[in-house]
Amino acid sequence: MAQPTLKTEAGAMDLPGLAAEPSEGNGLGLSRSLLADCERRVRAAVARDLHDRVAQPLAALLMVLEDVKQDPGDRRRVIRRIDTVQDQVRTALFGLREVLCDLREQEWLDDGLVGRIRGELETVLYQHPHLRLRLTVSPRWPAAIRSRVGDHVLQIVREAVHNARFHGGATGIDVALRVTGRRAEVVVSDDGRGLEGRRVRPGMGLLGIHERATLLGGRVVVGERPDGGTRLRVTVPREVLG
């Protein structure tokens, strides 16, 4: 009997040693261990998506609301902050919609990824005006890419920028989208503390970046820049962009 496989976004994954067990209903039931493994994978994927697409925008929203509450009352400044709150709500709703579309296996060509990344960086800059943020997009970067791939790229950028600012203490962060030959790259560099000789210990955010890169058939490299700071590079096959 052929070994069962579990379909993932990255292809088919062999599961040796897990054979199908007959069920009382139709004789084609799956083993309990296989079902448990599938459930763990689904839970991990949903947890990652809710963390990246919903929890982070809502956390940022709370920070902005706290600032509004402390504002002495300049009407124009309050209105600008309310605009930021509305943008964060839209981002959270968009992320939730994407989670639902993924669960329903719906996909489309996303022609607004660069604009969404730029909007994300503008929101970060508004909340942290001391930062220097720069986005560079290669002329060979496609105008439209698969929606699920675009979502992975956006979340990778969002988490990497957050890590650089919050954990690395960076004041300058550069984000680059590149296409070189048959490879596409997302590179986030900063001028923060760097690794300081420490071994990289992935938390929830960095773990999510690794998971997303793996789903796209790519890899993640985190290292120190020659002139100080940290560089995170995610490399994926060019064809996955669409």
Give the Å distances, CA to CA, from 19 to 15, 26, 30, 32, 37: 9, 16, 8, 10, 13
Separation CA 233–CA 59 (nearest Å): 26
Dihedral angle of Cα 42, 44, 48, 50, to the nearest 10 degrees: 60
Give me the tens of pLDDT residue by residue for the chain, a chain 242 residues long.
443 333 333 333 333 333 333 444 444 445 667 777 777 777 777 777 777 777 777 777 777 777 776 766 677 777 777 777 777 777 777 667 667 666 665 555 667 889 889 988 988 888 888 999 999 999 999 988 888 899 899 999 999 999 899 888 999 999 999 999 999 999 999 999 887 666 656 566 788 899 999 989 999 999 899 888 999 999 999 999 98
